[in-house]
């Protein structure tokens, strides 16, 4: 009967507009929710065919809600270094637990309001933990586009103090070409050696003590500060003694000598002994400079504290408890290097890398997704790289609480990418993606939905009156 179908059509109108009202209410409530996507309600008619010519049968209306996930909100500037928004396609990968297992669900969100929690994990306002690829010791990142298990919760709380050992020294100095040959060097040139003759093993510069008069006073010294594997500070010293017009005896020593343990052939903190030779133009002759090993790429090798040194080698003192260290020494190609000109002996500059122990002072994230820890000794270190997940049909994702989504049949499978690569959006640090809700549009929809609901209710009252009239005919 047509009146009954009208009643059913009116009911479907009430149900459909109630659904639309729920979507509008949810949109308005989330107008300030970071990363929220507007839910749109679409209506479609239902056609019933009675099969009787001239007989109209009302079908009604069907409401279908869809969240417009691909719609991007405005990036709003914030003051937090760990706030993030994605410019372009993609989602952050998050988990509800900070230590997820293979069976734990992975959520995908655009809500990037991340802060460091009490355990040092990056967590957003919905309690979701940010996932990323850990940075390998060599600074690289192993990206696996299809394996969520390769991701880990990004944690900065475990990044305590850090120290960087010295691995490179650039030395720029001049030795005075007019320096007279020392008495100790002249005595060493005699046959047999004269009194007080310089000898690198028995009467050397490393043992010089002005108070007791022992050892040989160097003509010039150059000091090199270095940092060890634990951030401790030490001083190496290059002592030189003029022995001929273009040759100087040289000893590289630790100051104090107790910082190292010498192997056979070395003593009093010596690390290396030999000569420094110069060409006629005052430039250093590396091939004949035996204190540097006669090579153009000299290195200083100091063994670990726990390793007793072999003959001619040196290790850090046992009491220091530090690791082995290899330091590249540039005295040739560095600006100036070591030269011999007829001017005062002087150390122009000593450039070293490495730093003393430093504490974590801050965390930043760049547009490529690298999470970087900054320390008060000036050292920065990459901890992890944020992963961005893309989908063939983002609008097909299933919405879950916390402004997040999960994979569905309609969305297709995820693909993990580095930010800004392969179609994935880049990151915009210190910004948050605003909600895509347009309040003016929602309030206009609220009015039209209210009117449509009232009209649907009117259908019921009118149909009820018509049925009542029909019943009254029978009385």
Give the integer Cα–Cα distance in Å for 62 and 92.
Answer: 34
Are residues 225 and 331 both part of a single domain?
yes
**What's the pLDDT score for residue 41?**
86
Type and span of the H or E element at 325: strand 325-330
144 and 278 share one domain: no
Length of the chain: 475
Boundary (domain end) residue, out of 358, 373, 400: 358
Same domain, 353 and 451: no
Cα separation, 368 vs 247, in Å, equals: 53
Say if residue 18 is in the same domain as residue 152.
no
Query: Are 289 and 277 contacting, i.e. CB atoms less than 8 angstroms apart?
Result: yes
The string of DSSP letters for 321-376 reads ----EEEEEESSSSSS-EEEESS--EEEEEEE--EEEE-EEEEEE-TT-EEEEEET
- Using CA atoms, how far apart are residues 373 and 116, in angstroms rounded to an integer? 12
What is the pLDDT at residue 1? 53
Q: Is position 332 within any domain?
A: yes
Among residues 9, 95, 73, 97, which one has the least CA distance to residue 45?
9
Say if residue 350 is in the same domain as residue 443: no
Pairing between β-strand 168-176 and β-strand 325-330 as defined by DSSP bridges = parallel
Give the pLDDT confidence score for residue 457 in this predicted structure.
Answer: 87
Q: How far apart are CA 161 and CA 381, in angstroms?
A: 11
Does residue 263 lie within any of the structural domains? Answer: yes
C-alpha to C-alpha distance for 312 and 271, rounded to whole angstroms: 8
Residue 469 in any domain: the answer is yes
Phi, psi of 63 (to 5 degrees): -105, 130
DSSP helix/strand/coil, 24: helix
Distance CA 410, CA 218 (A): 81
Q: What angle do CA 327, 328, 330 make, to 5 degrees?
A: 135
Could you tell me if 340 and 200 lie in one domain? yes
Give me 28's structure tokens: 């308005």
Q: What is the pLDDT of residue 411?
A: 93
What's the rounded Cα separation, in Å, for the pair 367 and 416? 16
- Could you say which of 325, 343, 358 is where a domain stops? 358
In the chain, which residues have pLDDT < 50? none
Phi, then psi, of 298 in degrees rounded to 5: -70, 150
- Rounded CA-CA distance 119/169 in Å is 39
Compute CA 54 distance to the chain's CA centroid, rounded to the nearest angstrom: 73
- List the end-to-end C-alpha distance of the chain, in Å, as a whole number: 21
The answer to whether 362 and 381 are in contact (CB under 8 A) is no
Helices 439-473 and 2-29, axial angle in degrees (round to 10): 160
Domain count, the chain: 3
Same domain, 79 and 110: yes
* Last-in-domain residue among 433, 449, 464: 433
Q: Are residues 155 and 169 in the same domain?
A: no
Range of the domain at 406: 75-160+381-433
Report residue 82 CA to chain centroid gap. 11
Residue 292 lies in a domain: yes
CATH code of 302's domain: 2.60.98.20
Cβ atoms of residues 405 and 69 within 8 Å: yes
In a domain, 370, yes or no: no
* Domain match, 55 and 154 both: no
Q: Are residues 238 and 343 in the same domain?
A: yes
368 domain-assigned: no
CA–CA dist 196, 214 (Å, integer): 9
DSSP string, 276-323: EEE-TTSBEEGGG-GGGTTSSS-EEEEB-TTS---TT-EEE-GGG---
Q: Is residue 269 part of a domain?
A: yes
pTM for the structure as a whole? 0.62
**Residues 173, 178, 184, 186, CA torsion sign:** positive
Whether 88 and 187 share a structural domain: no
- Asked whether residue 282 is assigned to any structural domain, the reply reads yes
88 and 208 belong to one structural domain: no
Is beta strand 431-433 parallel, antiparallel or unpaired with respect to 84-87? Answer: unpaired
């Amino acid at each position: 009967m047509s009146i009954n179908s009208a009643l059913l059509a009116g009911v479907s109108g009430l149900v459909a507009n109630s659904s639309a009202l729920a979507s509008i209410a949810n949109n308005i409530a989330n107008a300030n929710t970071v990363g929220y996507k507007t839910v749109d309600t679409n209506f479609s008619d239902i056609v019933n065919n009675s099969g009787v010519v001239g007989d109209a049968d009302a079908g009604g209306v069907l409401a279908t809600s869809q969240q417009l996930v691909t719609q991007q909100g405005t990036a709003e500037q914030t003051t937090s270094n760990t706030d993030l928004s994605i410019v372009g396609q993609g989602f952050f990968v998050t988990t509800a637990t900070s230590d997820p297992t293979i069976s734990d669900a992975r959520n995908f969100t655009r809500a990037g309001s991340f802060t460091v929690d009490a355990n040092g994990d990056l967590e957003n306002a919905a309690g979701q933990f940010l996932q990323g690829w850990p940075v390998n010791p060599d600074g690289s990142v192993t990206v696996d586009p299809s394996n969520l298990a390769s991701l880990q919760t990004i944690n900065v709380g475990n990044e305590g103090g850090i120290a960087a050992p010295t691995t490179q020294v650039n030395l720029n100095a001049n030795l005075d070409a007019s320096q007279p040959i020392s008495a100790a060097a002249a005595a060493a040139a005699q046959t047999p050696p004269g009194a007080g003759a310089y000898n690198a093993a028995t009467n050397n510069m490393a043992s010089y003590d002005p108070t007791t008069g022992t050892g040989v006073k160097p003509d010039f010294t150059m000091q090199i500060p270095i940092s060890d594997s634990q951030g401790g500070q030490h001083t190496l010293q290059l002592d030189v003694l003029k022995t001929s017009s273009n040759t100087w005896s040289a000893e590289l020593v630790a100051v104090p000598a107790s910082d190292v343990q010498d192997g056979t052939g070395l003593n009093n903190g010596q690390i290396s002994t030999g000569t420094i030779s110069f060409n006629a133009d005052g430039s250093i002759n590396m091939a004949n400079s035996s204190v540097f090993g006669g090579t153009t790429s000299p290195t200083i090798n100091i063994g670990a504290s726990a390793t007793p040194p072999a003959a001619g080698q040196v290790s850090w003192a046992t009491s220091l408890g530090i690791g082995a260290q290899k330091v590249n020494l540039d005295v040739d190609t560095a600006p100036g290097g070591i030269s011999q000109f007829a001017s005062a002996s002087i150390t122009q500059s000593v450039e070293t890398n490495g730093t003393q122990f430093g504490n974590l002072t801050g965390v930043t994230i760049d547009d490529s997704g690298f999470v970087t820890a900054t320390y008060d000794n000036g050292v920065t270190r990459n901890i992890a790289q944020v992963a961005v997940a893309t989908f063939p049909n983002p609008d097909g994702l299933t919405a879950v609480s916390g402004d997040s989504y999960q994979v569905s049949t309609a969305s297709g499978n995820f693909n993990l990418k580095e930010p800004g690569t392969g179609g994935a959006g880049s990151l915009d640090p210190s910004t948050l993606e605003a909600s895509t809700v347009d309040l003016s549009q929602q309030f206009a929809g609220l009015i039209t939905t209210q009117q449509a609901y009232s009209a649907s209710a009117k259908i019921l009252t009118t149909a009820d009156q018509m049925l009542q009239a029909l019943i009254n005919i029978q009385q």
